């Protein structure tokens, strides 16, 4: 969680391998090789595949990149959208106690005063006096020297506010200062009364949103793990004061189930965050860590935010952000349990977890992304066995056209031989490939090849949509 205080300077954390842009990635790799430190081959190959196959590109790459920014390519955006779509279905659409919103990134600066971010949203920063490199004091081992030049001459640690500041309107005076939101959560708190007035929900209920957040991280790195612009999927779950523990446990359980759905549960562990490391608003936090190649790091967080936010907004705005309890005929300020999920870290965990290189025949390796089918950017690829036979092409086009109507993201592929097409689809994680061949013309069946088992079976073309729907609902 954020808001690390000065005292953590003393804590020697594990080495972090920062990848700012692809350029910096290669530079650091060269540096590590010189010092014989191991680079993470898995991460390196994943970064390369992600770029080659159109998942993730370095931000502003043609200008040498911009630290802490990455762009999602055609397949990356599909994967990301599928993650968000599944999250929204599970935590918002399928629940009767959840209200989804989409609030502005720019908010009145008083929001950040009330939330405590102007004062507390700080990381401890040190500068290397020799090379002028800047580091997060809690993320480097200061006693081992500067990670860039090795010098052991640092400035004192000082707090650095991570909010990006800009100005609303043409006049850049202090009255026009606004901040890019560092968390989506405050959108839920400032709309608490609006949601109550529109829907009159009964406690407990939640407000959720998915959206961009911005943090001027001192040391972004590790590919899309720590960036300056990222997306969050957050829930503020409002409960009666008292008895928060059972709600906290319930949400921990829901978060575990989500990691199971993503297929990453095996790499996940839970960590109680100590009082000095907890964010300023939290009375209890459990971080859900994932075993990344660069170490065990925070994937998600679950916090008991008490009534901290609503109370402060009541005080600063003068608006009565209370809940009227029909049973007791009394007003109360609800408390809040907050499950928070980073979209980009989910992407990274899913990509790492799905990535495999397997020997299919002697000397022949296939790279494959074994995404859960519902997350796969392409669900089904349709191939005509040969592309110079009119009747096969026409039949394949008919199969492709019909499937497209009922299954999301069906692709056409007729380039190269079937083996090459399978390898290409494996690399982008397509769960099923359908081939229309000579037998199709005789008996109306096609081959369906499974990405993970590589087994093929014959299915009647007319039954394909039902077959895939069943698989996708498993
Ligand atoms: N509203 C609570 C909150 O923002 P947080 O632990 O600071 O808590 C929530 O952030 C989640 O956002 C993290 O668990 C992580 O998944 C993601 N996140 C935070 N900082 C990030 C960064 N610089 N780059 C990518 N994801 C980040």
**CATH, residue 220:** 3.30.930.10
Same domain for 101 and 235?
yes
Out of 20-34, 212-226, 354-368, 434-448, least confident range: 20-34
Is 361 a domain residue?
no
Q: Is the CA virtual torsion 77, 79, 84, 86 positive or negative? A: positive
Distance in Å, CA 117 to ligand 1 centroid = 14
pLDDT score of 474 = 85
Q: Is the CB of 218 under 6 A from ligand 1?
A: no
**Exposed (0-12), middle (13-18) or buried (19+): which is 276, by Cβ within 10 Å?**
exposed
pLDDT score of 443 = 97
Same domain for 104 and 147?
no
Local confidence band at 202 (pLDDT 50, 70, 90 cut-offs): very high
Q: Which residue has the tokens 């109550």?
A: 196
Is 94 a domain residue?
yes
pLDDT score of 173 = 86
Mean pLDDT of the residues in the chain: 91
Helix axis angle for 244-262 and 343-354, nearest 10°, is: 40
- Answer with the residue of higher pLDDT: 21 or 458: 458
Please tell me the pTM assigned to this model: 0.90
pLDDT score of 8 = 29
The protein residue with its alpha carbon nearest to ligand 1, atom 15, reads 342
Is 27 a domain residue?
yes
Same domain for 263 and 210?
yes
Does the pLDDT of residue 22 top 90, yes or no?
A: no
Q: Which residue has the tokens 């609902």?
A: 473
Distance in Å, CA 209 to ligand 1 centroid = 14
Q: Find the CATH number of the domain harbouring 426.
A: 3.40.50.800
Same domain for 339 and 395?
no
Same domain for 62 and 83?
no
Is 367 a domain residue?
no
Closest CA to 427 of 23, 19, 48: 48
Does the pLDDT of residue 9 top 60, yes or no?
A: no
CA 347 from centroid of its chain's CA atoms: 5
Is 327 a domain residue?
yes
Q: Is the CB of 185 under 6 A from ligand 1?
A: yes
| Among candidate residues 135, 161, 187, the one where a domain is terminated | 161
Is 358 a domain residue?
no
Report the C-alpha gap between 7 and 14 in whole angstroms: 17
Closest CA to 222 of 391, 445, 20: 20
Does the pLDDT of residue 432 top 90, yes or no?
A: yes
| Among candidate residues 161, 179, 214, the one where a domain is terminated | 161
Neighbours of 356 (CB within 10 A): 12
Is 366 a domain residue?
no
CB 216 within 8 A of CB 11: no
CA 280 from centroid of its chain's CA atoms: 23
Number of domains in the chain: 4
pLDDT per position as a tens digit, 362-420: 888 999 999 999 999 999 999 999 989 999 999 999 999 999 999 999 999 999 999 99
Out of 102-106, 135-139, 187-191, 197-201, least confident range: 135-139
Neighbours of 44 (CB within 10 A): 16
> Would you give the DSSP letter of residue 157?
P
> Would you give the DSSP letter of residue 91?
I
Q: Is the CA virtual torsion 299, 302, 307, 308 positive or negative? A: negative
Same domain for 234 and 295?
yes
Q: Which residue has the tokens 């629940």?
A: 95
Same domain for 307 and 228?
yes
**Exposed (0-12), middle (13-18) or buried (19+): which is 338, by Cβ within 10 Å?**
buried
Same domain for 334 and 456?
no
Same domain for 395 and 429?
yes
Distances (CA, A) of 78 to 84, 192, 213, 244, 262: 10, 32, 20, 37, 15
Same domain for 323 and 463?
no
Is 303 a domain residue?
yes
Q: Is the CB of 4 under 6 A from ligand 1?
A: no
Q: Is the CB of 183 under 6 A from ligand 1?
A: yes
Q: Is the CB of 98 under 6 A from ligand 1?
A: no
Looking at the chain, the whole-number percentage of residues with pLDDT higher than 90 is 83
Does the pLDDT of residue 38 top 50, yes or no?
A: no
Distance in Å, CA 232 to ligand 1 centroid = 7
Local confidence band at 35 (pLDDT 50, 70, 90 cut-offs): very low
Same domain for 248 and 336?
yes
Range of the domain at 129: 122-161
Same domain for 316 and 393?
no
Q: Is the CB of 2 under 6 A from ligand 1?
A: yes
Q: Is the CB of 211 under 6 A from ligand 1?
A: no
């Amino acid at each position: 969680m954020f808001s690390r205080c000065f005292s953590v300077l003393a804590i020697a954390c594990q080495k972090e391998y920062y990848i700012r842009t692809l350029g910096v990635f290669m530079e650091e790799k060269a540096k590590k090789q010189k010092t014989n430190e191991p680079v993470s081959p898995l991460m390196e190959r994943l970064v390369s595949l992600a770029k080659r196959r159109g998942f993730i590109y370095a931000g502003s790459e043609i200008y040498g990149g911009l630290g802490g920014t990455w762009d999602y390519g055609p397949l990356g955006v599909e994967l990301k959208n599928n993650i968000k779509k599944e999250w929204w279905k599970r935590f918002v659409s399928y629940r009767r106690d959840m209200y989804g919103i989409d609030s502005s990134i720019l908010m009145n600066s008083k929001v950040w005063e009330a939330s405590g971010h102007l004062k507390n949203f700080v990381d401890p920063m040190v500068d290397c006096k020799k090379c002028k490199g800047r580091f997060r004091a809690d993320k480097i081992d200061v006693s081992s020297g500067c990670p860039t030049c090795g010098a052991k001459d640092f400035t004192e640690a000082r707090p650095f506010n991570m909010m990006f500041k800009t100005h609303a309107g043409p006049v850049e005076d202090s009255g026009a200062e606004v901040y890019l939101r560092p968390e989506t959560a405050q959108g839920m708190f400032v709309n608490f009364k609006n949601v109550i007035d529109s829907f009159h929900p009964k406690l407990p209920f939640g407000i959720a949103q998915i959206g961009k957040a911005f943090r001027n991280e001192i040391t972004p790195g590790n590919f899309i793990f720590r960036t300056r612009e990222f997306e969050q999927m957050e829930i503020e779950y409002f409960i009666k004061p008292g008895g928060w523990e059972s709600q906290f446990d319930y949400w921990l359980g829901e978060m575990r189930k989500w990691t199971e759905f993503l297929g990453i549960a095996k790499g996940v562990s839970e960590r109680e965050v100590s009082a000095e490391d907890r964010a300023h608003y939290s009375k209890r936090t459990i971080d859900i860590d994932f075993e990344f190649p660069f170490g065990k790091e925070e994937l998600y967080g679950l916090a008991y935010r008490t009534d901290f936010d609503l109370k402060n907004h009541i005080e600063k705005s003068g608006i009565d952000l209370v809940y009227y309890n029909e049973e007791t005929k009394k007003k109360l300020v609800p408390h809040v349990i907050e499950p928070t999920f980073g979209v980009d870290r989910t992407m990274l965990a899913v990509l790492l977890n799905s990535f495999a290189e397997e020997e299919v025949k002697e000397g022949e390796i296939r790279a494959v992304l074994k995404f859960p089918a519902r997350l796969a950017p392409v669900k089904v690829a349709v191939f005509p066995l040969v592309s110079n036979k009119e009747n096969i092409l026409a039949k394949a086009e008919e199969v492709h056209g019909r499937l497209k109507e009922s299954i999301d993201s069906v692709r056409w592929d007729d380039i190269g031989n079937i083996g090459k097409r399978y390898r290409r689809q494996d690399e982008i994680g397509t769960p099923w490939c359908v081939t229309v061949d000579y037998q199709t013309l005789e008996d109306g069946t096609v081959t369906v090849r499974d990405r993970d088992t590589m087994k093929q079976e014959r299915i009647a073309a007319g039954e394909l949509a039902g077959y895939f729907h069943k698989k996708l609902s498993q």
